[in-house]
Amino acid sequence: MRNGGAVAGLALFAVVAALALAAPLLYAHSPWMMVGKPMLLPFADAKFVMGTDMLGRDVMAGLVHGARVSLLVGLVSTAAALTAGVVIGAVAGYAGGWLDDALMAFTEFFQTIPQLVMAVLVVAILSPTLPSIIGAIALVSWPPVARLVRGEFIALREREFVQAAVVIGQRPWRIIVSQILPNAMSPIIVMGSFMVATAILTEAALSFLGLGDRNYMSWGFMIGAARGVIRQSWWLSIGPGVAILLTVLAINLIGEGLNDALNPHLRQRGE
């Protein structure tokens, strides 16, 4: 709470989350529905605060419903990526030896392929649906987590409290879960916050390229659909672009605040 930027980011993120949760109440009609005259300017009609697009769809309804998709994809894909990365990194870091080498070689294979390219290939092969988008983003996001967790486990596995757990006969899985993992959670939490922002950007890029789920309105799709009329109707691209900017900025500010709070060296320096 001492970090003003983090508090501002948290407040901004809370507003976006509240709008996403309240989307069905604020705009009960589908954001794909044509509800007004096409290409209305923002505030030209009290019913359409952000105007309408080329087909007469409410831009504000699209923004609010698009927030649901962005947050859902960001949070769920990050949770999946963190789970996979923590499991692989924990096993590699604690076991060491040939198992560590094999798991890290597997991790490096995924890191050699550009993330967006792999995500595009996976979504194109599986067909653009929300589950495939979430799975593709999780698939390209877990390797950095695995490497981070592995490094933390290597540093912690020789500590006295871990050796004491080994001496009293605790099983390896229990040592990993109850002794080492809680002490490695700080950097994992910080990385997870930044991964949510990256996942939102990746989903927007996929939707912009036409690989979004057409059953759900998204910010990336709105920008992609409006790029042909950006000179005449610039507000159609500005609205979702600013929404992405503010959401990602808020999450990054929260991540920096968590890093300051959970990193003892930064905390001591601030004091």
pLDDT above 80: residue 29? yes
pLDDT of residue 63: 95
Residues contacting 125, CB < 8 A, separation 6+: none
- Give the whole-angstrom CA distance, residue 17 versus residue 105: 38
pLDDT of residue 269: 47
What's the 3-state SS for the chain?
CCCHHHHHHHHHHHHHHHHHHCHHHHCCCCCCCECCCCCCCCCCECCECCCECCCCEEHHHHHHHHHHHHHHHHHHHHHHHHHHHHHHHHHHHHHCHHHHHHHHHHHHHHHCCCHHHHHHHHHHHHCCCHHHHHHHHHHHHHHHHHHHHHHHHHHHCCCHHHHHHHHCCCCHHHHHHHHHHHHHHHHHHHHHHHHHHHHHHHHHHHHHCCCCCCCCCCHHHHHHHHHHHCCCCCHHHHHHHHHHHHHHHHHHHHHHHHHHHHCHHHHHHHC
In the structure, what pLDDT confidence band is assigned to residue 36 with cuts at 50, 70 and 90? confident
Prediction pTM value: 0.90
Q: Could you tell me which residue, 27 or 269, shows the higher pLDDT?
A: 27
**pLDDT tens digit sequence for 203-227:** 999 999 999 998 999 999 999 999 8
Calculate mean pLDDT across residues 23-51.
89
C-alpha angle 115-120-123 in degrees, rounded to nearest 5: 120
pLDDT of residue 25: 92
List, in order of start, the domains of the chain with CATH numbers.
Answer: 4-270 (1.10.3720.10)
**pLDDT tens digit sequence for 76-86:** 999 999 999 99
pLDDT of residue 267: 53
C-alpha angle 205-42-67 in degrees, rounded to nearest 5: 35
% of the chain with per-residue pLDDT over 70:
97
Contact 238, 7 (CB under 8 A): no
